[in-house]
Amino acid sequence: MDTQFPPINHPEVARLRRQSAQRKYRKQLRKMRLLWSCSGVLFLILFIEVLVALCHSPRLWIYRITVTNQETLSDAEVVRLMAVPVHSNYFRISLGKLERNIEQEPRVDTAVVKHGAIGTLVVTVHERQAVCQLGYTGQPLYMDAKGFLFTRPAPPTTLVPVIEGVSVPYSKGILGKRAPFPQVDEVLACLAELRGAKDRTALEVARLKMTPNGNGTTMTYTAILRQGTLLYLGPPTFLEKKGFCIRQAVLEKSNEGRSLTQIKYIDVGFVDENSEKKGICAYVYPSDK
């Protein structure tokens, strides 16, 4: 006797077909999940291997340091100041820490450390530029445009003014710090005005004398040019006007055929906000030459 199967559109047949399709789908889903899990594990292992290679491979050790722009410091001194640990990794080393190590040297104003080729560091050193020297005796102390003190193994290539009337005992503790006397900003302002900027003529100052006034609370300043001319600046006020008056007086005497060597001194100590109204800019006294 033949068995009669239910029609294909029978509800029981449809249910069995759905169950079979779901079993196949779950089986394929498990295979895909297993495949993706294995791929993820392999990718993680590869990533760890790359990190280990980048952090510990001898090929990425720092083996060369190039130093540029230094003036008195040698390459060996800069490398010593950097204190790069042995077998330091090219990517992991802190460039900011190396810069701070170099800037601990009083002669250094700023330092910039950058990555060069793989395994190479490029160091650019900006040393402090002396704008004046404090006194004549003892170890020469120089001051930069920010008022920081430092020494040099050799005098600057260009002569700098000597500040008289202030005593700063030499000690290693003051190097790399601002000068420990209250008139630092006044001295720098006087030198900056006499040195000139932009279209103003520079005056070659050999010495700058600081003298306490009558009550001892403020200082009066006298600059001595390399030509021997004295500039009586008075108190450190209205420096821009005083600088203009000095240059105007030098120009007028030059038109008369006199050089700075033929001028004994120029007095602008009295210059204030009303000097222009009075029509007096500077008193000029010729020398006997």
- Locate CATH 3.10.20.310 in the chain: 59-127
Distance from C-alpha of 65 to C-alpha of 60, rounded to nearest angstrom: 14
Whether residue 121 contacts residue 67, with contact meaning beta carbons closer than 8 Å, is answered with no
Q: Work out the pLDDT band at 4, boundaries 50, 70, 90.
A: low
Distance from C-alpha of 52 to C-alpha of 254, rounded to nearest angstrom: 75
* CATH no., domain 59-127: 3.10.20.310
Q: Work out the pLDDT band at 5, boundaries 50, 70, 90.
A: low
Q: For 112-116, what is the mean pLDDT? A: 94
Could you tell me what percent of the chain has a pLDDT over 90?
A: 37
Taking only the tens place, the pLDDT of each residue in 20-63 is: 888 888 888 888 988 999 999 999 988 887 777 767 778 888 99
Determine the pLDDT at residue 203.
86
Query: Across all residues in the chain, what is the average pLDDT?
Result: 85
Determine the pLDDT at residue 36.
92
Q: Work out the pLDDT band at 257, boundaries 50, 70, 90.
A: confident
Q: Does domain 132-286 have CATH number 3.40.50?
A: yes
Q: For 251-262, what is the mean pLDDT? A: 84
Q: How far apart are the first and last CA of the chain?
A: 150
Taking only the tens place, the pLDDT of each residue in 149-159 is: 999 998 888 88
More confident residue, 14 or 278: 14
Query: pTM to 2 decimals?
Result: 0.76
Q: For 119-123, what is the mean pLDDT? A: 94
Q: Work out the pLDDT band at 95, boundaries 50, 70, 90.
A: very high
More confident residue, 289 or 167: 167
Q: Work out the pLDDT band at 148, boundaries 50, 70, 90.
A: very high
Give strand pairing partners of 124.
Answer: 68, 112
Which range has the worst mean pLDDT, 11-25, 100-114, 179-193? 11-25
Taking only the tens place, the pLDDT of each residue in 187-233 is: 999 998 888 766 667 888 999 999 887 666 678 899 999 888 999 98
Q: Work out the pLDDT band at 131, boundaries 50, 70, 90.
A: very high
